[in-house]
Amino acid sequence: DVKVTQSSRYLVKRTGEKVFLECVQDMDHENMFWYRQDPGLGLRLIYFSYDVKMKEKGDIPEGYSVSREKKERFSLILESASTNQTSMYLCASSFSGANTGELFFGEGSRLTVL
Amino acid sequence: GQSLEQPSEVTAVEGAIVQINCTYQTSGFYGLSWYQQHDGGAPTFLSYNGLDGLEETGRFSSFLSRSDSYGYLLLQELQMKDSASYFCAATSSNTGKLIFGQGTTLQVKP
């Protein structure tokens, strides 16, 4: 079974703190994704990585950065957390290429910024 | 820009058939996927259409028309456990980048 593991299910941080969200997958997938999910807004793509050290901005990259130093690990970084970044963050992975459309998701990390 | 439009809510009764539509506008398009998400859970993959036409997987079918930039998910013989959110997602690059719609909440009533 494909497993995508996110390091924290729940986090509470203060405004201005630096926040790291970690994601690890064990299926040797080339692609990894970070989405945020808010009620009524669906899943919005923050960043996408299609290979080690390769990244592409999604629809809402402002206030976020990412790191992919190893194939299995994709980190989302909030340099200075703000209250409007309170959300559910979902990591996903997939094989490279456009011919399956299948992502495997982690359980999510619910971040609250006070 | 890139966007996918789907209805926000659909209600149906147990045993019925329901269709959830999705229209898309993307700068590149390779295929349309559907995902199911129960409250508190992660999205799970249901189906993918890379070519025009109907794909059937058990009680669920998905359809794509590239010329109309349109697809739908058809759920038959609805069960209470089908109450969930359903998302369409477009593959928008040859690397497999996926953009999601806002989701449709399906409520199945007895």
Above 80 in pLDDT, residue A98? no
Quick check: helix, strand or coil at residue A3?
Answer: coil
What stretches of B37-91 show up as alpha helix (H) in DSSP?
none
Rg of chain B on CA atoms, in Å: 13
Q: What is the pLDDT of residue B92?
A: 85
Note whether B45 contacts A99, CB cutoff 8 Å: no
Strands (E), A1-114: 4-6, 10-13, 19-25, 31-38, 42-51, 54-57, 65-70, 73-78, 87-94, 104-105, 109-113
**Token digits of residue A12:** 């509470």
A61 touching B (Cβ < 8 Å): no
Which residues, in sequence order, are bridge partners of residue B90?
Answer: B32, B99
Q: Are A14 and A69 in contact (CB under 8 A)?
A: no
Query: Phi and psi for A58 in degrees, rounded to 5?
Result: -95, -145
Average pLDDT, chain B: 94
Exposure string of B5-29, with b = 16+ CB inside 10 Å and e = fewer, is ebbeebebeeeeebebebebebeeb
Tell me which residue of A99, A54, A7 sits closest to B96, measured CA to CA: A99
Above 80 in pLDDT, residue A99? no
Tell me which residue of A25, A43, A106, A30 sits closest to B93, measured CA to CA: A30
Note whether A95 contacts B96, CB cutoff 8 Å: yes
Could you report the per-residue pLDDT of A7-61, keeping only the tens digit for each?
999 999 999 999 999 999 999 999 999 999 999 899 999 999 999 989 999 999 9
Nearest-Cα residue of chain B relative to residue A38: B102
Could you report the per-residue pLDDT of B68-94, keeping only the tens digit for each?
999 999 999 999 999 999 999 999 888
pLDDT band at B1 (very low <50, low <70, confident <90, very high): low
Residue of A43, A59, A95 for testing the chain B interface, max B β-carbons within 10 Å: A43
A114 by Cβ neighbours in 10 Å (0-12 / 13-18 / 19+) ranks as exposed
A97 touching B (Cβ < 8 Å): yes
Residue of A5, A23, A45, A107 for testing the chain B interface, max B β-carbons within 10 Å: A45
B94 touching A (Cβ < 8 Å): yes
The neighbour count for residue B33, using CB atoms within 10 Å, is 24
